[in-house]
């Protein structure tokens, strides 16, 4: 058996946990390999996979970035930070996943691609945000590109993959800001001294990403790349929302979306098994093609929403009274 289709048509496959490692305080990595006789689809640096997490309270879909070298075809390596505030995904993985266990995962998907032809790249990681950036650093090393990494963690004990990173040969600057005498990374100063043609990448907690976006707002947007792990408070939209109508072209359904409802909620309540995961506009699972109407994009994925004819229906809304989706 290779890929199996989930009820919503998304291909999933079983993989075996070939290794589980404690990478840092509160961080485990899992090395996932194909089942005997099967293969893993390739991926590019910055990609993530969806992992089905069967907790006691029901199945959850969680997204984890791939940390290994994209040239590897025999394994996926993910890392999971134990999040005490989690809705069960990271806790379950820490407490239950062991070597030899079979997990079900989706195919790699990339919302945080690497500009491989950039002459210089500056990677800024905060905590578990290291995972996609480590894969990027590996790829940039293979391509013999100039790169440097600022890696923020509270202490060395909490900096997963630090030794792997140091072996790559790029410039790596750890910033352990809970250590005596160490200050937080001065993003403003760092960005100011970085040449205009350098591509900047940032992944980590929303406080770091917001601070980063503040200091890069005058730079060419094509050189700025971020990946969110959770939505910042203002991503939920501004001001009171209004009700609107959503037409579902393929299902031939017309539904009302209340001011306090999302399209996703309404569509699922009507019986459509559409995929979703984060419900915060950061994972891309619920993307739907827009057939007509104007969209109020509130996700954090579509880099330039004006170029897209699709929307994330967990957070985005219609701009006018109605919108038609290809669902
Ligand atoms: S469910 Fe993650 S973007 Fe909508």
CB atoms within 10 A of CB 141: 15
Mutating to test ligand 1, I would choose from 281, 288, 295, 298 the residue with most ligand atoms within 8 A of its C-beta, which is 281
Global pTM exceeds 0.75: yes
Residue 69 to residues 10, 202, 300, 324: CA-CA distances in angstroms?
A: 25, 19, 26, 41
Structural element, H or E, at residue 29: strand 27-34
Spatial CA neighbour of 322 closest among 252, 244, 256, 248: 244
Locate the ligand 1 atom nearest the alpha carbon of residue 313 and give its number. 4
DSSP, res 184: P
> Rounded to an integer, what distance in angstroms lies between the CA atom of residue 270 and that of residue 264?
10
| pLDDT of res. 118 | 96
**CATH architecture entry for 120-230:** 3-Layer(aba) Sandwich (3.40)
| pLDDT of res. 70 | 97
Give the residue range(s) of CATH 2.40.30.10 domains in the chain: 4-106
Tens-of-pLDDT digits for all 327 residues of the chain?
567 776 556 688 999 999 999 999 999 999 999 999 999 999 999 999 989 888 776 778 888 999 999 999 999 999 999 987 766 789 999 999 999 999 999 999 888 999 999 999 999 999 999 999 999 999 999 999 999 999 999 999 999 999 999 999 899 999 999 999 999 999 999 999 999 999 999 999 888 998 998 899 889 888 999 987 766 655 544 456 899 999 999 999 999 999 889 999 999 999 998 888 778 887 777 889 999 999 988 887 765 555 568 899 999 999 989 999 999
Locate the ligand 1 atom nearest the alpha carbon of residue 277 and give its number. 1
Give me the DSSP letters along 201-255.
Answer: EEEE-HHHHHHHHHHTTTS-GGGEEEEESS--GGGG-SS----EEEEETTTTEEE
| Cα 101 to the center of its chain, rounded Å | 24
Residue 87 to residues 55, 93, 98, 277, 281: CA-CA distances in angstroms?
A: 10, 12, 20, 12, 17
| pLDDT of res. 307 | 52
Spatial CA neighbour of 209 closest among 224, 194, 184, 226: 226
Locate the ligand 1 atom nearest the alpha carbon of residue 276 and give its number. 1
Give the residue range(s) of CATH 3.40.50.80 domains in the chain: 120-230
| pLDDT of res. 283 | 74
Give the residue range(s) of CATH 3.10.20.30 domains in the chain: 237-325
Q: How far is the centre of ligand 1, averaged over its atoms, from the C-alpha of 49 (Å)? A: 14
Residue 5 to residues 12, 36, 51, 106, 250: CA-CA distances in angstroms?
A: 6, 19, 14, 10, 20
How do beta strands 4-5 and 11-24 pair?
antiparallel
**CATH architecture entry for 237-325:** Roll (3.10)
> Rounded to an integer, what distance in angstroms lies between the CA atom of residue 14 and that of residue 166?
33
Mutating to test ligand 1, I would choose from 63, 282, 316 the residue with most ligand atoms within 8 A of its C-beta, which is 282
What topology does CATH give the domain 4-106? Elongation Factor Tu (Ef-tu); domain 3 (2.40.30)
């Amino acid at each position: 058996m290779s890929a199996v289709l989930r009820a919503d048509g998304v291909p999933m496959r079983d993989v075996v946990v070939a290794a589980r490692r404690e990478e840092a305080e509160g961080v485990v990595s899992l090395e996932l390999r194909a089942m005997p006789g099967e293969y893993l689809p390739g991926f590019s640096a910055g990609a993530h996979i969806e992992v089905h997490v069967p907790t006691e309270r029901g199945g959850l879909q969680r997204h984890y970035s791939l940390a290994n070298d994209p040239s590897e075809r025999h394994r996926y390596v993910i890392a999971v930070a134990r999040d005490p505030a989690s809705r069960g995904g990271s806790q379950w993985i820490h407490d239950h996943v062991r070597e030899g266990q079979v997990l079900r995962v989706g195919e790699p998907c990339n919302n945080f691609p690497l500009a491989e032809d950039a002459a210089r790249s500056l990677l800024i990681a905060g905590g578990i945000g290291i995972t996609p950036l480590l894969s990027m650093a590996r790829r940039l090393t293979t391509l013999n590109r100039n790169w440097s990494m600022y890696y923020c963690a509270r202490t060395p004990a909490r900096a997963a993959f630090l030794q792997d990173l140091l072996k790559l040969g790029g410039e790596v600057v750890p910033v352990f800001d809970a250590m005596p005498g160490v200050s937080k990374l001065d993003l403003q100063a760092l960005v100011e001294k970085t040449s205009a043609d350098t591509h900047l990448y940032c992944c980590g907690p929303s406080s770091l990403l917001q601070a980063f976006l503040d200091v890069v707002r005058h730079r060419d947007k094509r050189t700025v790349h971020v990946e969110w792990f959770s939505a910042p408070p203002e991503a939920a939209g501004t001001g009171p929302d209004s009700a609107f109508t959503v037409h579902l072209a393929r299902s031939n359904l017309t539904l009302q979306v209340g001011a306090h409802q999302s399209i996703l909620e309404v569509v699922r309540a009507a019986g459509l098994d559409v995929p979703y995961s984060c419900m915060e506009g950061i994972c891309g699972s619920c993307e739907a093609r827009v057939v007509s109407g104007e969209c109020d994009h509130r996700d954090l994925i579509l880099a330039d929403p004006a170029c897209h004819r699709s929307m994330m229906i967990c957070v985005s809304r219609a701009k006018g009274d109605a919108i038609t989706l290809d669902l």
